[in-house]
Copies of this chain bind each other. A is one copy, B any other.
């Protein structure tokens, strides 16, 4: 079965967490909006009144006749079916708990450039964005990165992975978060990375995994840009 991923075609966004899992799992998938269907195919699906279990928003994954929405939920499904999650219930809950914490961080990063409303332009909430970004850099990033550092260091099976001694979808997502934060807040990250060496080592190891390295070097990996979640606005970074 070929999976179909539905997500905005021009950005990494939340869809990228799903793409990374699909790529690492080595499964066959179609990135619908970037191929034949275009964005219209996604909008048609979202607006189709015959879908009994409609997603609220992209990304969503079509697995046969089954539509799965919410990034963390898609990852749980893919992880448990394709060897990117532990086999036991406790391990699965823990992996998902980490993923949901990553999702919280991602939402906070998004809100640094849209603290008032997603429906407004960045330019119309720039003043508020500066205040919110300062809080993210000064308080929230140290708290989140410090947390993942602790999780790695306390892992009884070693600091190579977040969960036990094998790669999970949460590791792939933490890789993406570090990559995104480096793009969006290079100055802030330079100072923060020294305090989270295990997180950075995890990022670097994931980047070298054969399937991930091949994906990152391919045209399938979109560059970060100022339409996505991780945006580089120098005025929101440190040192200004």
User: Are the CB atoms of A66 and B54 closer together than 8 Å?
Assistant: no
User: Are the CB atoms of B131 and A116 closer together than 8 Å?
Assistant: yes
User: Are the CB atoms of B52 and A155 closer together than 8 Å?
Assistant: yes
User: Are the CB atoms of A100 and B116 closer together than 8 Å?
Assistant: no
The answer for the CA separation of A72 and B96 in the assembled complex, in Å, is 10
Majority SS at the chain A contact face: helix
Provide the residues of chain B in CB contact with A93, threshold 8 Å: 68, 73, 76-77
> A68: which of B56, B97, B154 is its contact (CB, 8 Å)?
B97
The answer for the CA separation of A151 and B77 in the assembled complex, in Å, is 21
Is A196 part of the binding interface, using a Cβ–Cβ cutoff of 8 Å? no
Count copies of this chain in the complex: 2
Is A135 part of the binding interface, using a Cβ–Cβ cutoff of 8 Å? yes
Give the nearest-CB partner of A144 in chain B. Answer: B56
Contact with B along A34-60 (1 / 0, CB 8 A): 000000000000000101111110000
User: Are the CB atoms of B116 and A128 closer together than 8 Å?
Assistant: yes
Shortest distance between the CB of A10 and any CB in chain B (Å): 22
Give the nearest-CB partner of A96 in chain B. Answer: B73
User: Are the CB atoms of A115 and B96 closer together than 8 Å?
Assistant: no
Provide the residues of chain B in CB contact with A131, threshold 8 Å: 116-117, 125, 128
The answer for the CA separation of A111 and B66 in the assembled complex, in Å, is 33
User: Are the CB atoms of A154 and B54 closer together than 8 Å?
Assistant: yes
Provide the residues of chain B in CB contact with A96, threshold 8 Å: 70, 73, 76
Give the nearest-CB partner of A119 in chain B. Answer: B139
Given contacts A115-B128, A135-B116, contact A100 B70 (CB under 8 A): yes
Given contacts A70-B97, A97-B69, contact A53 B115 (CB under 8 A): no
A residues in contact (CB < 8 Å) with B: 49, 51-56, 66, 68-70, 72-73, 76-77, 90, 93-94, 96-97, 100-101, 104, 107, 111, 115-117, 119-120, 125, 128, 131-132, 135, 139, 144, 147, 150-151, 154-156
